[in-house]
Amino acid sequence: MNHENANLTFRRFQIVPMVCCGIVFLSLGMCILSSATAMAGYIPVLAGLSGMAALLWPAIAWIRTLSRLERLERNLAKGQPGLSISRSGGIASILARQCVESLRNFQAQTEQSGQRQNDLSLKLQLLEKQKQSIEQIIHTIRDAVVVVDGFDRIVLANSAAEQIFGFSARSSLARTVGEAIDHPEFVASMCHIRQSKLPHLKHELTVKAGDHLHVYDCIFSCIRDEKQEIAGVVAILHDITREKEISQMKNDFVSHVSHELKTPLASINAYAEMLVDGEAQDEQAIHQFCSIIQSQALRLNRLIEDILNISRIESGLIKVDKQNLSMALLMRDAVEMITSYAQEKNITIHTPPAILYDQVHADKDMISQVIINLLSNAVKYTPQGGSVSIESQVNEADGVIRVSVIDTGVGIPPEAVDHVFDKFYRVEQNKKVAKGTGLGLNLVKQIVETVHGGRVFVASEVGKGSTFGFEIPLAAGQQITAKA
């Protein structure tokens, strides 16, 4: 481009000497003609020669200047702009100097322009990288992001959004959100915030994913341009399904615990009031009322202990006192404790002959609690006249003892079996059979697995009964001899 401009300039300057030369030759011709025809002596000839000289000098100066300009052009092309122009001389020199000055300015501007172009190119590359980086970040985040323009057309949607709504963002670009996303509630919210021009809109959205319903906390925000006009809408969807489940479990827990706590409390309060009001009519009645108050206070304490024990085990703050114990003795003691409860329901508890040498290294109170919880659950969910049995097996190969509690109770539906050890979980179908907080089996699991490094198991069939049990390691160095 620079050289083409320079050439154009030279071509313009070349016209001037050509005209000058033409005038010179015309003057010379006229002089010769006047000399020859008029024979008037040398005066016209001198006049013609002087005219020629006057006109030739600028022409020659132009030619020299052009020659220098050509050299200048060549030097410019080679990147050597330095060229001295004679300061003396006439119009041609002045024009030439101006021309060189212009060329220098032009060259400087060209260099600056080139530099700016390079800078812009670098900035453009930087911006492109930043854009890619931001897009990468948006695509990577777990929350779904959907952006539409002022006409509800998809501008951007990240991978999470594609997954939630089951659409392809790439093939949906420039399509409206209603065309791309098959979720009328979401689409309506997006359109609503744009039309209402609210800065933000919070909305809870339920989306079906396969057989599961997911709940999302959606925040829609308007994007405004420099004139504060709505340029689009950005929607961010955060999955709160788990939080909802936990919240529901907490509510259920509070509800159950509230009932469980209030029932013994109601008894304590009512019998205490009866004593105060003199409603106990004899010593026997007074004694009975006091006994009930005491037993209900103990029941309340057990419930609170269960809650605290789970909390302590989970936080690792529980004090564990492990020692070598006979599992058979622990089982026998637990059966003795639960017998009166079983007798109330006319349920028989079967205990096979004890296994000798079944020592475990365990916390006595905790393992007793495990066996009592399993036995009381078995009795609780077994109808009148049913049976419950407890047995143990030593597995020499794995170095564990396995304790099983088998009942002929209501059983557990297959879909609920995997959840029975979850905290606060209660089998929906069995809620009416017996009361509970959903804490007993979770405490069993925590004691067996977290404190003793064992495992719990369950097998059940609706209407036939359940087998709950656990395995914990035998005491180290135990000489195992299993006897029936």
Partner 1 sequence: MADKKVLVVDDEIHIVQVVAIKLRNNGYQVFTAENGAEALELAGREKPDVIISDFQMPVMTGLELAENLRKHSETADIPVVMLTARGFAIDDTQRETLRIAACLSKPFSPREVLQCIEEVISHSTAA
Q: Is the Cβ of residue 228 or residue 281 nearer to partner 1 in the bound state?
A: 281
**Which residue has tokens 């392809």?**
168
Residues near 403 by beta carbon (within 8 Å), at least 6 away in sequence: 327, 331, 371, 390, 391, 392, 469, 470, 471
Answer yes or no whether residue 470 interacts with partner 1 by CB under 8 A: no
Q: Is the Cβ of residue 17 or residue 409 nearer to partner 1 in the bound state?
A: 409
Among the candidate windows 41-49, 207-215, 385-393, 431-439, which touches partner 1 by CB under 8 A?
431-439
What residues between 295 and 354 interact with partner 1 by CB under 8 A? Answer: 296
Return the half-sphere exposure (C-beta side, CA atoms, 13 A cut-off) of residue 379.
23
To partner 1, the closest distance from the beta carbon of 256 in angstroms equals 9
CA distance linking residue 442 with residue 301, whole number of Å: 18
Rg (the chain; Cα; Å): 51
CA distance linking residue 73 with residue 65, whole number of Å: 12
To partner 1, the closest distance from the beta carbon of 258 in angstroms equals 6
Among the candidate windows 208-216, 318-326, 349-357, 428-436, which touches partner 1 by CB under 8 A?
428-436
To partner 1, the closest distance from the beta carbon of 280 in angstroms equals 8
Which of 197, 262, 350, 464 lies at the binding interface for partner 1 (CB under 8 A)? Answer: 262
H helices present in 381-456, as ranges: 414-417, 440-445
Which of 234, 240, 265, 354 lies at the binding interface for partner 1 (CB under 8 A)? Answer: 265
Answer yes or no whether residue 250 interacts with partner 1 by CB under 8 A: no
Compute φ and ψ for 402, nearest 5 degrees: -115, 120
Question: How many beta carbons lie within 10 A of that of residue 249, not counting itself?
Answer: 15
Which helix (H) or strand (E) segment is 102 a member of? helix 91-140
Amino acid identity of 445?
Answer: K
Total residues at interface with partner 1 (CB under 8 A): 25
Angle in degrees, CA 361, 363, 368, rounded to 5: 110
To partner 1, the closest distance from the beta carbon of 277 in angstroms equals 7
Answer yes or no whether residue 424 interacts with partner 1 by CB under 8 A: no
Among the candidate windows 125-133, 196-204, 273-281, 382-390, which touches partner 1 by CB under 8 A?
273-281
For 98, 322, 365, 480, the CA distances from 356, given in Å and listed in that order, are 118, 20, 21, 9
Which of 15, 77, 127, 266 lies at the binding interface for partner 1 (CB under 8 A)? Answer: 266
To partner 1, the closest distance from the beta carbon of 341 in angstroms equals 13
Can you name the residues that pair with 387 across neighbouring β-strands? 348
Length of the chain: 484
Answer yes or no whether residue 279 interacts with partner 1 by CB under 8 A: yes
To partner 1, the closest distance from the beta carbon of 389 in angstroms equals 24
Q: Is the Cβ of residue 244 or residue 299 nearer to partner 1 in the bound state?
A: 299
Residues that bind partner 1 (CB under 8 A): 255, 258-259, 262-263, 265-271, 273-274, 277, 279, 281, 285, 292, 296, 431-435
